[in-house]
Chain A
Amino acid sequence: MLDAIDKELLKTVADLETLPKGAYNIRKNGQLLGREISANINIETNKEGNGIIITIKPGTKGESVHIPVIVSQAGLNDVVYNTFIIGEGSDVTIVAGCGIHCGTSKSQGHEGIHEFRIGENAAMKYIEKHVALGEGKGQRVLNPTTRVFLEKGAHAEMELSQIGGVDSANRLNEATLGAGSSLFITERVMTDGNQTAVSRNEILLEGHGSSTNLVSRSVIKDDSSQNFYATLDARAKCFGHIECDAILMGNGRNETIPALKALHPDAELSHEASIGKIAGDQLIKLMSLGLTYDEAVNRIIRGFLKK
């Protein structure tokens, strides 16, 4: 059963007011809370019992899978290994995410290791939100890992966001792209207080004609810090771009290191990065439209982090 806290977390991380329609797997405090499969989407517990395998039949179109995780048990660090096998020619949306509710002084955390095997000419949209709520003083820790393998002509779009309340995050995104495949990643992270977030991205462009675009938007408030590392490793004729922007507020700190490795003469790689406070001309423009300074800051941040 879902209690009030569960419902709040589900709504925040997966936009769910109640149990979703279609296939889903809801994990709460390391245990299965609910699961539903569909004719085209199967979900089963893996052999080790520490995660699930989601198998999507070839040609499945327009279906979605929700796999949110709730951690509300004091002191629990939940580790889960999930594998997604996306059949060739399918087109699906996967909504993941983890919501922590911390009500005590004990640390709570979740480490989701997600491996995606995306078949030929399949398309996947992956939406992952991380948030932590609650009045407790315990550390809220989220360390997600995604490993993506794109077959020939496959396409993946990943929206990864950490909305707030997470004290420590250490993310790793790895991807290997086959011929003609494409991967778009957009990561949005906001930190405040003394929070820290690290994102490492290793993208291997292995297939001829593969392409990737990696966008990172960071808002770093108070005494928090975020570090962003991204490497494009091009082994074929391919295209890759990294765009990372960070807005510093208060004493926020950021280290951004994009790396481009062109190991093929026809590789085209580029990056753009910017770190700084909100530009004065943006604030003045919005104030000249009648917003106060604080309202202008909020609108700029909202725009910067929105989809």
Chain B
Amino acid sequence: MDTMEYTILYVDDEEINLRLFRKSFRRDFNILLAGSAKEALEIIKTEKIDIIITDQRMPEMTGVELLKIVNQLLPDIPPHRLILSGYSENLDIDDAYNHYHLFSFVQKPWQYDELKQLLLNILGHT
């Protein structure tokens, strides 16, 4: 299956980050962007998303909190479809690993090749 069929939702409060993510991955996947957890939830309700990548530190709702709500909305989400990105792992995200189907934590700044490989792994391609 063509990787362009997959939809990835990227959530970050920094506009430049959003732009750059899309520019980097627009040739590989269908990219949807959300500038806040609220926007992300709206998109999740209406679109079919294959992977969610969310920044950890956002105003109003952190990435972990967003993942918690996503789990509530889509209880039968396939495992390992969620990624958190940030500057440092901390205790908060243990919960996310255990209960909210968090697959991986990606350190910023991310490397294009590494991240692409990770995404392909998740989606079942090598």
Report if A and B associate in a common complex: no
Which A residues contact B (CB, under 8 angstroms)?
Answer: none
Which B residues contact A (CB, under 8 angstroms)?
Answer: none
